[in-house]
Each structure stands twice: as structure tokens, then as C-alpha cells.
Structure 1
């Protein structure tokens, strides 16, 4: 014990006790004061007892930065935990560019995720997991006075970032033959690659894109451009941005970070952008914005493919449902993108013009900037009954766009409506709008 820094050891112990206390208190709050299970529960959360159990359960999960299940949900193979500083540096963007500030992912049994949360607790700017991997003697002493027992626990927790078993791929994993020699006719000049999903990099990309699209700084820069005013920073746009959803209705089955993103995985356009002039006009003299939206080239193409697919009368299988949902999701993504263009590209208050014939719910949806000057408009927006009406209008429009030769009715209309109202990008756009309007409401109240 002579080599132990008692101050650091006490710091680690305090972090551990606080973590366990919060989890214990949450469990005890659900039990009556006279419940006989309380003492047993308290005993389970004694530090050494809980740590011993956590060291046993840590084998049910694995920390990773590169995962396999995102490639195919039924793939069984190796996941890797590779810190960015352990990767070779090169000019192209990759996981090596993340630096020290990166989010590690977790795969495995969701019931054991509390162990990962435990190891993510910080002391002196370092997580318990970092300390475990560094073989920190002070953390080891904080775990137990029994040095051998503490060492066993340290080794168990360190196994969180280690590949399990031998390195293996799977028949449902992607595999690519990569030419490393000079002769493409010689099989020996190829390497067989098994690419994994760079989960930590995808999470950083998702956070950066969301900030660029919906962050306050980006919105202020766009507003300055519309007002033809100087601004200290610019803003970023992502033409032809696509969203891939991983895990379906259970994104947690892929990984922890995927669950935090709601399964949303951004795909950047792999072709050079074809820039078009920003000739965005107010949707005046039309009874519904869907008339303009449906005429957009990507929307027409997506509706045409959905119509072709449904007319083929595909079998009622999971593959059919997945492809149909994929097509509808693409149309919804276009709708959210178009709404964002109108919300951010037009002068706020355009819907109050006499030339605007849009129904009230579409005005509330598309002219959110009007809420800054129009208190009545702001109150109607916050009443928040209009998104359901937009969902109904979307369902009716899509039924009509698919034509009269398909047996579509109320059931399909409700399905299209439900898919829009539960779409994460749609929900994110609404949530951002609500936060902005609440700020305006608060500011108006303070001025009054």
C-alpha cells in the first residue's frame, strides 16, 4: 500500500459509492419502507459485492468502435475496440481523426449496460475504464484491499475492450476482394477484406451534421444571410443527404450508440454535387404545398418506384414490408428537407400575404419564423394539434399520388400518416421548432 496515492484512491472510491448510491436510491424509491426486500437490495449494492457481480457480467457486453451487426443484424463475428490514436494516420477522413474525444460503443446484452455506465464514470478527468486499461494502482486499491481479488476484477473489466475468441467474420457480413497486386487475373493478387461499421466515427458524424443543420449557430448564420447581414461564421449544407435506419424498431439490438441515435445513420452523397440556383419561391396561389412537393423530381421518382412495387403485388413478407417502408421513408425525408428549405429560405411571415391560400396547419408547419412577430400565430403553433392534420394530408396526398389503379383506402392513409408522425427526422424538426418558439415566448414574457 506504500505506492498508493491515498487521495486518488479516495477519489475513486467516492465516485464508485456515488454511482452505486444513485442506482440504489432509484431502486429503493420503488419499494415501501417496510418491504423485506430492502435489506437484501442494500446488501447487493455494497461496493465490493456489486463490483464482483459487475466483473462477472461484463463478459456479456463488449466495448467497440467498429461493429458487425450494423452491416447485417444476423451477422455473428468479431467486433473491435480501436482507440483513434492506435490507428495509422492518413489524409482521408477516418476513425483516426477522432482524437481523444470519441464515443465508444457497446454491443451485447442490454441488461448488462449498467456495467458500461459504471466504467464510464470519471475521476480526475479519466474514466474508470481508462484507469482499468492503464492498470491504475489507485483504482485497483479502491476496488478492494484484497490485491489478488482486485487484480482479477481489473482484468475482467479490461476484457470489455478485447475481441472475444478468434478473429472471425460471417457469411452474412460483407466481404470485398481488394486488388493489392498488379494482375487482376491472378487470385493471389487480391486480399479478402471484411469491412466493419465504424460506429464511433458514424456517431461523431451524426452529431456534427445535426449541429450544422439544426444548431443555434447555424440557424443564426442562415438568418444573417437572409437578412443580407454580416456574420462571423458560415454554415454548412449537405446536398442529397440520405438517412439509413439500422435496427428497425429495435435499434438497441445493433448497439448502444445506434440506440441513442434512434437508428439514424447519415449517408453523404458519393457523387460531386450538382449545384442549382437557389430559386426558392413562396408557395402562393396553391391550396396545398403537397401539389408543389409532389412535382419535385426526387419525389416523383420515389413515388413512381413505390407505385411499381405495389402494383407487382409482392408477397406479404418481412422483405416486402422493409422495402416498402424504405421507399416511404425516402419520400418522408424529401418532405422534411423541403419543409426545412421553406422554413429557412423564405422571409418569415410570407404565409400572411394575401396570395397565400394554404390551410392554416400548413402555414404553421412551413412558416415557423412568423411566430416571432405574430403572437396569435405562435399560440396556434404551440397548441400543437396541427401536426396530426399534416399527417392526414400527407396520407391523402400519397394515396392520390399512387393513382386510382391500386386498392388504397383509409388503412393505407393511416399507415402513411403513422410513418410520417413517427419519423425521427420529422420529430427532430418539430422539436427544434418548439425549442425556438419557446425561446421567443420566454423573451416576449421578459420584455413584458
Structure 2
């Protein structure tokens, strides 16, 4: 051992402390006169333990997607896939993890080897240092350079896949049809044109989610925030709740047989509720005695907060309120942020309109107490055209979507305008064009027009719009 290498000595001390701790844990279970104590002392001499650990490392494999998480008796391949090697996608997945925790599968009796490799020094695990061929760590393992190199190879092999990828009858499998003809048609009767897909459970992602939820549920800061809420007191941070949270147990009484991370969680994995949203109809009533629907729309908490943030940002950005269309090309990030605020408002607007159009009875705008403009009535009560001839003619004239975008633009100008933010014609036309060109808005209005065109089609026409004979 090079006595003049302090870093090597630190690494050696780190390794010896782990070995000594494992020895102490086993000795604590034995009587002082038990003859096995001498045997254990011999087994846990540093060089003896390292030689045995290097031999047992071949019984383990580093993994991010263990196959046994799908079924404890599945015998196929587990995969080790780093996030940077995955294609970028918008959906949430393991590709979003910044520094994922690696898992390990194999003989549960050898998991102490992985605990050794997970020891950290200066922010790096021993496994990472070994894979980088760190000379100080090799010196800490053994004074014999040849012996240290052999142990390094044995330990690093834990990250190498064992053989080619294989699935198993007890793993999840999906036969997916692929085109079997030059014109790319699918033939489900052709058994030779299927791909076998084997979806694997992401242990790294599940572990990250478990730790996050545990912290949000039982962390000291979360507890303090909840207590402050009960006491109606201020607190510097909020807290998160997870309604309808389910807990899944993997591995039964032996969670270590699934993987190391599963063992650390005692077999627990959290499942978030995957349910469609439920409409809250408690405040959904006909909009009577209102001159414009936007006065009710603007009372929504989400809309109020978005408008407030957008207004504060515009004032801070440009007190003189340069028209949005005049933003400089170099200020792309400014335009992107402005468009993000608009997208939030448009999303709330679509949900607001869909709720009134789909859940209130047909013809509710025909009531004498309804003072909404005709274009807003067409938007919120399109089915009225099925029974009201005058209303149908206005609805089919199809000028109401344009009028509606203008009403929205005037309303938004009024919400954002103030002494510090003067908005005028340029902003009005920008908001109007942005809403009119929004894909979600176009689909919603086009869908209403198509639906009413179908329901109002004269008898004797088929689905293609042709006169049936």
C-alpha cells in the first residue's frame, strides 16, 4: 500500500469500514463462546472478503428494467438502459430521469456485493471508479496490481449483459401485427408477420416515484406544511396530495428475489390513479341575466391566476405594451412564454364551453332570462339548432365563431389593460387571430358544425351526403 497516497488510504478505509460493519452485524447474533465467531473473523478479513465478493459478482447483473418485476418466476433477460440512450418523447418515462438509481438482479445472497459497489467517494460510486479504471481505487483493493486488475474485471462485469435478450412465457408479451404486403396492409391471419413486444417494468422510474411520494407524504417539511394549513398559518412551501393512490407489493415475503431496489422498498411500488377526469357539475347552471359569458369564465380560479401572471409579466417586460406582433425575432423565448400563457387560457376556454354545451339541456339559451349574445348562445347551446328554425339559420350561417373570437379578444384586452399597461387595436387583433388559429378551438367548433350538419340533414341522405335511392 502506498502510504504517501492519501486518496488511496481514504478508499481503503471506506472499504474496510463496510466489511467491518457486516462482520459486526453477524457477530451480534452469536454468543461470545460460539465457535463460528473465529470462522467469521477469517471470512471477513479484507483480502479474503474481496476475493469472495469478486467471485460472487458474476451472480449479479446491473439492471434498470428487471424482468422478475413482471412475474417472480420469469426467467428471461433484464435490461440495463441509461436514459440518454432512449429516444426523447413527450410522455413521462424513464428517459426523463436525470440521475437514475440503478437496480441489480440475480442471486439475493450476493446483494452485499452490490452494496459494496454502491459505496460513494467524492460523489462517485466504487463501481463508477472501477469502470473508469481509477488507479487509487485499484491500489486500495490490493498491493498486487495483477490481483487488483482481476478483481476490477470481475466487479465491472456486473454491468455487462449476459447473452442476448430473451423473453419468457411468464413475462408480459404482446404480439403486434406488422405489414405483410407491399401496400403495407395488415393481415392478422398471417402468423409470420408479427413482432413480439415484451414491455418491461422500469425499476429506476418506480424507485424515483416511490421516493418522491414518500417525501411528499411523510417528509418533515410536508408534515409542517400540513400542520400550518390546519392552524391557518403561513408556511414557505406547500405540500402535495395523491388521491386514490394504490400500493402494489412485489415479491411477497421475499422482495429481494425481484431486485435490490425492490428489496429496499420492502416490495412496495406506488400506482397513480389512471382515471378520466370527473366533471364538477356543482356550479354548472344556465347563464341567465348575464350580458356576456366571459364574465363567468373569468371567475374561474385557474383563469384568474393565469391572467394575473400574464399581466404582471407584460407590465414587467414592456410597460409601454409593445403590440405582441412587433416582438423582435431575437426574443423567441419572450414569444414562447406569452404563447404558453395563451395556451393555458385557451385550454380553460375549451373546457368551459364543452361543459355547458354537453351537460345542460338542449335549448336552455331560449329562455327569456338568457341575455347572452347570439354567437355565445351558438357556442354554448349548439343542439338548440335541432328544434329552433331561426336559431338554426344563424348557426348554419357560421359567422358566430368569428364574432366569438372578437368578443374574447375584447374581454382579454379589458382584463389585461391598466394604467401601467395600455392595450389597443394591435393587441385585440393578436388575441383574436391566436384563438381563431388554435387547433383545439378549431376542432371544437368544426365538430359542432359537423354534428349539427349531420343531425339536421334532410331525410333520404346517406352518410356520404349523397341522395339515397
State the TM bucket, normalised to the shorter chain: 0.5 to 0.7
Which residue of the partner structure matches residue 44 of structure 1? 43
Which residue of the partner structure matches residue 16 of structure 2? 17
* Structure 2 residues not aligned, in runs of 5+: 283-469
Q: Radius of gyration: which is bigger?
A: 2
Aligned mate of 1:210, from 208, 214, 217: 214
TM-score by length of 1: 0.55
Contact 1:80 1:161 (8 Å CA) reproduced:
no
C-alpha deviation, 1:52, in angstroms: 0.8
Further displaced range: 85-94 or 120-129: 85-94
Q: Helix, strand or coil: the match of 2:61?
A: strand
Structure 2 CA distance for partners of 1:30 and 1:239, relative to 1, 3 Å: closer
Deviations 1:71-126 (A, max 9, x none): 112111111223334434333222222222x3222222222111111111122221
Which residue of the partner structure matches residue 91 of structure 2? 92
Q: Helix, strand or coil: the match of 2:248?
A: strand
Deviations 1:43-79 (A, max 9, x none): 3222221111111111222222111111112111111
Deviations 1:202-224 (A, max 9, x none): 01111212222333333443444
C-alpha deviation, 1:197, in angstroms: 0.9
- Asked whether 1:271 is paired with 2:270, we answer no
Aligned mate of 2:205, from 189, 201, 205: 201
Deviations 1:421-442 (A, max 9, x none): xxxxxxxxxxxxxxxxxxxxxx
Q: What is the CA–CA distance in structure 2 between the aligned matches of 1:228 and 1:40, rounded to whole Å?
A: 62
Aligned mate of 2:236, from 229, 232, 252: 232
Contact 1:80 1:162 (8 Å CA) reproduced:
no
C-alpha deviation, 1:144, in angstroms: 1.8
Q: What is the CA–CA distance in structure 1 between the aligned matches of 2:144 and 2:91, rounded to whole Å?
A: 48
1:314-393 to 2 correspondence within 5 Å? none
Contact 1:9 1:141 (8 Å CA) reproduced:
yes
Measured on the aligned residues, the alpha-carbon RMSD in Å equals 3.2
Q: Helix, strand or coil: the match of 1:93?
A: coil
Structure 2 CA distance for partners of 1:226 and 1:144, relative to 1, 3 Å: closer
- Asked whether 1:135 is paired with 2:122, we answer no
Deviations 1:11-47 (A, max 9, x none): 2111111111222233344556565554443232222
Contact 1:5 1:138 (8 Å CA) reproduced:
no
Contact 1:239 1:273 (8 Å CA) reproduced:
no
Q: What is the CA–CA distance in structure 2 between the aligned matches of 1:183 and 1:40, rounded to whole Å?
A: 69
Which residue of the partner structure matches residue 61 of structure 1? 60
Q: What is the CA–CA distance in structure 2 between the aligned matches of 1:113 and 1:84, rounded to whole Å?
A: 24
Structure 2 CA distance for partners of 1:88 and 1:151, relative to 1, 3 Å: farther
1:251-270 to 2 correspondence within 5 Å? 251-270=255-274
C-alpha deviation, 1:170, in angstroms: 0.7
Q: What is the CA–CA distance in structure 2 between the aligned matches of 1:138 and 1:86, rounded to whole Å?
A: 30
Q: What is the CA–CA distance in structure 2 between the aligned matches of 1:275 and 1:29, rounded to whole Å?
A: 59
Which residue of the partner structure matches residue 112 of structure 2? 114
C-alpha deviation, 1:273, in angstroms: 2.6
Q: What is the CA–CA distance in structure 2 between the aligned matches of 1:277 and 1:63, rounded to whole Å?
A: 51
* Structure 1 residues not aligned, in runs of 5+: 279-448
Structure 2 CA distance for partners of 1:166 and 1:145, relative to 1, 3 Å: same
Structure 2 CA distance for partners of 1:40 and 1:236, relative to 1, 3 Å: closer
Which residue of the partner structure matches residue 346 of structure 2? none
Aligned length: 277
- Asked whether 1:74 is paired with 2:78, we answer no
Which residue of the partner structure matches residue 281 of structure 1? none
Q: What is the CA–CA distance in structure 2 between the aligned matches of 1:32 and 1:141, rounded to whole Å?
A: 36
Q: Helix, strand or coil: the match of 2:81?
A: coil
Contact 1:133 1:158 (8 Å CA) reproduced:
yes
Q: What is the CA–CA distance in structure 2 between the aligned matches of 1:60 and 1:147, rounded to whole Å?
A: 24
Further displaced range: 41-50 or 166-175: 41-50
Q: Helix, strand or coil: the match of 1:66?
A: coil
Q: What is the CA–CA distance in structure 1 between the aligned matches of 2:220 and 2:278, rounded to whole Å?
A: 28
Deviations 1:225-269 (A, max 9, x none): 455554433332323322222223332222222223232222222
Q: What is the CA–CA distance in structure 2 between the aligned matches of 1:180 and 1:219, rounded to whole Å?
A: 52
Contact 2:178 2:186 (8 Å CA) reproduced:
no
Q: What is the CA–CA distance in structure 2 between the aligned matches of 1:219 and 1:183, rounded to whole Å?
A: 58
Q: What is the CA–CA distance in structure 1 between the aligned matches of 2:281 and 2:229, rounded to whole Å?
A: 15
Which residue of the partner structure matches residue 192 of structure 1? 196
Structure 2 CA distance for partners of 1:276 and 1:106, relative to 1, 3 Å: farther
Structure 2 CA distance for partners of 1:228 and 1:25, relative to 1, 3 Å: closer
Deviations 1:361-404 (A, max 9, x none): xxxxxxxxxxxxxxxxxxxxxxxxxxxxxxxxxxxxxxxxxxxx
Q: What is the CA–CA distance in structure 2 between the aligned matches of 1:216 and 1:273, rounded to whole Å?
A: 31
